[in-house]
C-alpha cells in the first residue's frame, strides 16, 4: 500500500453542550488536520502527470486546504445548542457561525472531513484532528 499525508490548520471557536468542565464555555483552538490517502500497490496512477503517484501532491493539498478553509475563523456551533435569538444576535453583530449537525468534538470533525473528502473522490484512509498539540482524534473507515 502507498500512502500520502498532508496537513492543514484552522482557527475556530466552539463549546461543547452537555459537557461538565472547561469545554462547556466558549473557547478557541488552532485545529490541525492531517489527512492520509492511500491505494494498493497495483493502483498507482498509470498515465500522464499522476503516473506512479497516489495523486498529485498539489491537487491533494489544494483539496484539503480548500475544505479546511471553510472552518477558519468561524464559530462552530452544534445545531440546537444555542437559542435562535442568540444566533440572530451573534449574526446581527457580524459574527460568522458555522452550524453543524453534530457535536463539535475532534472525533466528529475528523469523521465529517473524512466523509466529505471521500465524497470528493479522494481515497482517504484516515483523518486526524488535533484539538491541542497533545490531543488527537483519528477517524478511519
Ligand atoms: Zn475545545
Q: Are 13 and 72 in contact (CB under 8 A)?
A: no
Integer Cα distance of 75 and 33 in angstroms: 17
The domain tally of the chain equals 1
pLDDT tens readout for residues 41-62: 999 999 999 999 999 999 999 9
**pLDDT > 90 in the chain, percent:** 92
Structure pTM?
A: 0.94
pLDDT tens readout for residues 69-107: 999 999 999 999 999 999 999 999 999 999 999 999 999
Integer Cα distance of 134 and 81 in angstroms: 27
Which residues lie at CB < 5 A from ion ligand 1?
Answer: 23
CATH of the domain at 48: 3.30.479.10
| Residues facing residue 39 across a β-bridge | 2
Closest to 110 measured CA to CA, from 78, 70, 138: 138
Centre of ligand 1 from the C-alpha of residue 24, in Å: 8
DSSP H or E stretch at residue 75: strand 74-78
Q: Is 93 a catalytic residue?
A: no
By residue range, what is the domain housing residue 127? 2-139
Centre of ligand 1 from the C-alpha of residue 27, in Å: 6
Amino acid at each position: 500500500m502507498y500512502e500520502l499525508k498532508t496537513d492543514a490548520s484552522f482557527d475556530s471557536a466552539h463549546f461543547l453542550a452537555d459537557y461538565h468542565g472547561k469545554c462547556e464555555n466558549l473557547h478557541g483552538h488552532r485545529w490541525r488536520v492531517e489527512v492520509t490517502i492511500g491505494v494498493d500497490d497495483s493502483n498507482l496512477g498509470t498515465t500522464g502527470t499522476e503516473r506512479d503517484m497516489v495523486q498529485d501532491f498539489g491537487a491533494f493539498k489544494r483539496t484539503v486546504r480548500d475544505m479546511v478553509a471553510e472552518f477558519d475563523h468561524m464559530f462552530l456551533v452544534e445545531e440546537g445548542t444555542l437559542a435562535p435569538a442568540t444566533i440572530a444576535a451573534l449574526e446581527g453583530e457580524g459574527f460568522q457561525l458555522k452550524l453543524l449537525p453534530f457535536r463539535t468534538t475532534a472525533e466528529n470533525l475528523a469523521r465529517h472531513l473524512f466523509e466529505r473528502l471521500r465524497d470528493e473522490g479522494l481515497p482517504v484512509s484516515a483523518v486526524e484532528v488535533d484539538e491541542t498539540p497533545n490531543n488527537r482524534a483519528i477517524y478511519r473507515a
